[in-house]
Structure 1
Amino acid sequence: MTKVESVNTEINIMDVPKQGLPVTIITGFLGSGKTTLLNHILQNQQGVKTAVLVNEFGEIGIDNDLIISSDEDMVELSNGCICCTINTDLVDAVYKVLERDEKIDYLVVETTGLADPLPVALTFLGTELRDMTRLDSIVTLVDSENFSLDLFNSDAAYNQIAYGDIILLNKTDLVDSADVDLLEVRLRDIKQDARIMRTTKSQVPLPLILSVGLFESDKYFDQDDSSDDHEHNHHCTEDHEHDHNCGHDHHDHSHHHHSDHLENDGFTSVSFVSDKPFNIRKLQSFLDNELPVNVFRAKGILWFQESPDRHIFHLSGKRFTIEDDEWKKGQTRENKLVFIGQNIDGDRIKQQLEECLYR
């Protein structure tokens, strides 16, 4: 499900180009900090109206006190944001932004953590959107603590670096500076001319990543018959049933991630839903001792027998957090979890989670 948030960012209005809506693509592997960066953009709105297209609006988290009104398709916020739900592909989502009565000055698009950013970029360069938008830059977030091309063995993870104009080396506070230096050297081997910045909790001055004019569209048009075709053929020949998605395989951001860019690199997602609460001690033991090492990312809503609260769960690499939240009025209490990894035994994980439920 793709959603839109209308926000303001701290960019001098004179810096925004007048020809075509400028677009920034934010990409990065699972758990790298994309959602935190979007939160940063949402919380630093000054002067320029920015629409943010994201995969799941709920991940960003909006303070309930900011909500003026809400219906099935739109959330209006007191800070001027208008958040729209869009159930179609990227082109249609952008059209909905462009057709708004309220003028939009800037567009930010977040890819999924397993997506190759090139097909997204080519949507703006090679469709009718090229006459109405201007691709400003691709910003790639890298998890300094967990990033490993060897571990992921992923074309998408490599291409996120290779096509990044700006690379944010994130979570540097969790890693020794010497290790960050080595990682930066390795990234330079992949993308020599990228602008690399080190960040903590995705905090970066917005003028350094928005409206920077770093994307060189001519370079990508030159690759149209080679690199682009290679990428699309690579994705499309692996699953002939999805041939009709070629060229748009990363634009239909469905709520579940059972799409080509998962299976291409051996990734699978496992969903678990239960109307029974977890036992805190049992779930803690599972996460600490039994979770497979090839699970790279997990997220969800937790309900514990021992607590009346709603809990938000995020796991990235070996690190996980469980944050207290409140159940909304009329909201059904249930556990909902998604695990993403390479060659994981989904049935085994589901069975282990069943054993963690309160009996």
Structure 2
Amino acid sequence: MVLMLNDYGAMPVIQTFFAEPTIYQSFDLDAAVTVVDAKHARQHLDETHEAQEQVAFADLLLLNKVDLVSPQEIGILKRRLRAMNPHAKIYSTQKSKIDVEKILDVRAFDIEKKLEIDPEFLKEEAHEHDDSVSSIVLRETRPLALDKVDDWVFHWLSEKGTDVFRYKGILYIQGMKQRMV
């Protein structure tokens, strides 16, 4: 199982995996993967503990949007990420494109290393959610017009882009038989 971390940080997701014996005994946790937005990483790392936690607990770091920053900025960011997590592999990406072999079946997760970082991290009370991080959920049962969704996302990101850690969705688009992810 590859663990793609969300904007709530690594600890709660990993804790859930180890808290349920059925899950722990049925699956091997392969790697904790964190996508780092190269354009906004400095701001996120400076301002939120959640971003720092994701980097510290990751096995693999995908340094994304490297095409939007200078090579000097990438070098500075890579040194900062390496200082925060000397064990993680760092891959530079654009639009998060990467050969799947680099992130699947890599056997990078090591519970002992995680416990070295934070001996208390498997305990539920060890993690407090950062109140500066929030989520929104939009639900619609009718099929959506893809052009309108694209316009809305573009304008939302134009206005709030530096504050967005990630966005995802499963969309019911007019004229498409299957849902779009």
Confirm or deny that 1:310 pairs with 2:176. no
Q: Percent identity?
A: 28
Q: Which residue of 2 aligns with 1:194?
A: 88
How many angstroms apart in 1 are the aligned matches of 2:13 and 2:38? 25
Q: Which residue of 2 aligns with 1:25?
A: 3
CA contact (8 A) 1:154 1:265 kept: no
Confirm or deny that 1:161 pairs with 2:55. yes
- Structure richer in strand, relative to its length: 1
Deviation at residue 270 of structure 1 after TM alignment: 6.7
Give me the TM-score of the superposition, normalised by structure 1.
0.38
User: Structure 1 counterpart of 2:149, which letter?
Assistant: H
Deviation at residue 183 of structure 1 after TM alignment: 0.3
CA contact (8 A) 1:310 1:327 kept: no
How many angstroms apart in 1 are the aligned matches of 2:40 and 2:70? 13
> RMSD between aligned alpha carbons?
3.2
Seen in structure 2, the aligned counterparts of structure 1 residues 178 and 159 have a Cα distance that, compared at 3 Å, is same
Q: Which residue of 1 aligns with 2:167?
A: none
How many angstroms apart in 1 are the aligned matches of 2:45 and 2:104? 31
How many angstroms apart in 2 are the aligned matches of 1:169 and 1:130? 29
Task: Mark the structure with the bigger radius of gyration.
Answer: 1
Q: Which residue of 2 aligns with 1:46?
A: none
- Structure richer in helix, relative to its length: 2
Determine which structure has greater relative contact order: mean sequence separation of CA pairs < 8 Å that are 6+ residues apart, divided by chain length.
2
Q: Which residue of 2 aligns with 1:126?
A: 19
Seen in structure 2, the aligned counterparts of structure 1 residues 171 and 224 have a Cα distance that, compared at 3 Å, is closer
How many angstroms apart in 2 are the aligned matches of 1:224 and 1:176? 34
Confirm or deny that 1:328 pairs with 2:166. no
Q: Which residue of 1 aligns with 2:36?
A: 142
How many angstroms apart in 1 are the aligned matches of 2:44 and 2:108? 28
CA contact (8 A) 2:9 2:50 kept: yes
Q: Tell me, which stretches of 5 or more residues in structure 2 are unaligned?
A: 165-171, 176-181
How many angstroms apart in 2 are the aligned matches of 1:131 and 1:272? 35
Map of 1:267-278 to 2, 5 A cutoff? 267-268=133-134
Seen in structure 2, the aligned counterparts of structure 1 residues 176 and 311 have a Cα distance that, compared at 3 Å, is same
| Displaced runs of 4 or more, over 4 A | 149-152, 221-225, 268-273
CA contact (8 A) 2:12 2:127 kept: no
Task: Count matched residues.
Answer: 156
User: Structure 2 counterpart of 1:164, which letter?
Assistant: A
Seen in structure 2, the aligned counterparts of structure 1 residues 175 and 232 have a Cα distance that, compared at 3 Å, is same
Deviation at residue 124 of structure 1 after TM alignment: 2.0
Deviation at residue 126 of structure 1 after TM alignment: 3.0
- Of 128, 132, 138 in structure 2, the residue corresponding to residue 266 of structure 1 is 132
How many angstroms apart in 2 are the aligned matches of 1:328 and 1:167? 36
